[in-house]
Every structure is written in C-alpha cells, then in structure tokens.
C-alpha cells in the first residue's frame, strides 16, 4: 500500500510539474488508474510520464499531455464531449469523470472492444464507445460542447469544427505526421473561430477509413 501511495504521489507531482494544475483534472487523473489501459511488457511503466505502445500500432499518450489537453478543454459537469481516437480508452475515462456524457470513436474495432471492457470493469457508465471513421465526427450526436482529437490532422478538421457548439472548445494536434506538431485550442465564437497554440507534441496521424483488425 505504501508503494502505491508513493507511486500515486509521484505521478501527481509529475503532472503538476508539467503544468497540469486544474484541481478537477488532477482529481480525475488520481481516480482513474492508468495501469489497466496498458498491457504486456510495458505495464510496469504505466505510471511513468511517457507515451507507450498499445495494440493496432497506436500509442497511449503520456499522462502530462493527457492532463494538459483535458485542462485546455475547461469541461463543465454538464458538457457533452466527443473524443476522436479512443486508443486505450484512458483519455475517455478521464473525461468521464468531468463531463455529463462522453462519446469516443476509433477506426480500430479491437481498441473499441478492449476499451469498453475496461469502462465496464471501472463502472464508467457515461461513455459510449463507437467503431467508426472519426474524421467525420459523430453527426447524429452533434453539436458537442467539447471535442478532443488524439491524432494529428494537417489542419483543424472542418467537419469536427462544424459539430462544435458556439461557445465550445476543441483541442487538436495539427501538423505533418513526420514533423513537429502543434497542440491547438480552437474556440467557436458567434463571429467565427479563435485559435491558440499550447505546445509542441507528437501524435499518430488522423487517418480516414476503418482499421484492418478483427
């Protein structure tokens, strides 16, 4: 137990030292254990602030980036959030502690199935995980208060921007997949869109179509 408590304290300290200071976000990240989202030989490194490989050639983002992206969304308890790129499910689980409803979509059916199993085990009942082409968003549930994209687009995707409510916020990595990417915060105002840059990042590219997996 002492080792677990120490590990959690170190985990939270690392988040704060990288700029994650929002109390609700820190509380959510303290509540959601990253361990179950990482399998195999990398599971022992679940509490380190580093990205790790998962199935289908994807990665789970480093916790500080998850925290910073979540913090930038300024989620309220009544918000409906869309996540494009379920991956391991870790980001969606964090969002579920902050928002009223989370919709998460991924092109790899295997990742969606595995994430659903973890959500069920954790009792996270306000997440809907869907297999689909996230580049088109989820028009039947739009508009969304917040949208988070966990794969890099060449530009902020127009389809997703259309599915954002006026007053809403989208966080998306932008840039070529083999070059430096920039984490962009998009705010939708009555007059149009406002953009701010958070930091440099590196994400897998946002691809159209469904992944070839079982």
Instruction: Spell out the SS3 assignment of 131-143.
Output: ECCHHHCCHHHCC
Residues with catalytic annotation? 61
Measuring CA to CA, how many Å separate 168 from each of 91, 171, 188, 190, 199?
A: 19, 10, 6, 11, 20
CA-CA distance, 64 to 115, in Å (whole number)? 21
* Token pair for 44: 């022992």
Residues 55-91: b if buried by 16+ CB within 10 A, e if exposed: ebebbbbbbbbbbbbbbbbbbeeebbbbbbbbbbbbb
């Amino acid at each position: 137990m002492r080792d677990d408590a120490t590990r959690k304290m170190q985990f939270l300290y690392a988040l704060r030292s990288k700029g994650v200071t929002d109390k609700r976000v820190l509380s959510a990240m303290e509540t959601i254990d990253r361990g179950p989202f990482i399998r195999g030989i990398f599971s022992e490194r679940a509490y380190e602030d580093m990205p790790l490989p998962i199935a289908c050639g994807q990665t789970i983002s480093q916790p500080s980036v998850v925290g910073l992206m979540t913090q930038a969304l300024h989620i309220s308890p009544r918000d409906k959030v869309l996540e494009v790129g379920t991956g391991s499910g870790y980001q969606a689980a964090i969002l579920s502690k902050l928002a009223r409803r989370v919709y998460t979509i991924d092109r790899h059916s295997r990742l969606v199935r595995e994430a659903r199993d973890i959500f069920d085990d954790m009792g996270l009942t306000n997440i809907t995980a869907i297999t689909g082409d996230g580049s088109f968003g989820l028009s039947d549930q739009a508009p969304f208060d917040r949208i988070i994209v966990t794969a890099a687009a060449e530009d902020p995707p127009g389809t997703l921007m259309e599915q954002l409510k006026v007053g809403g916020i989208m966080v998306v990595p932008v840039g070529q997949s083999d070059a430096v990417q920039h984490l962009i915060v998009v705010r939708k105002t009555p007059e149009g869109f406002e953009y701010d840059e958070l930091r440099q990042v590196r994400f897998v590219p946002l691809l159209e179509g469904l992944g070839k997996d079982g």
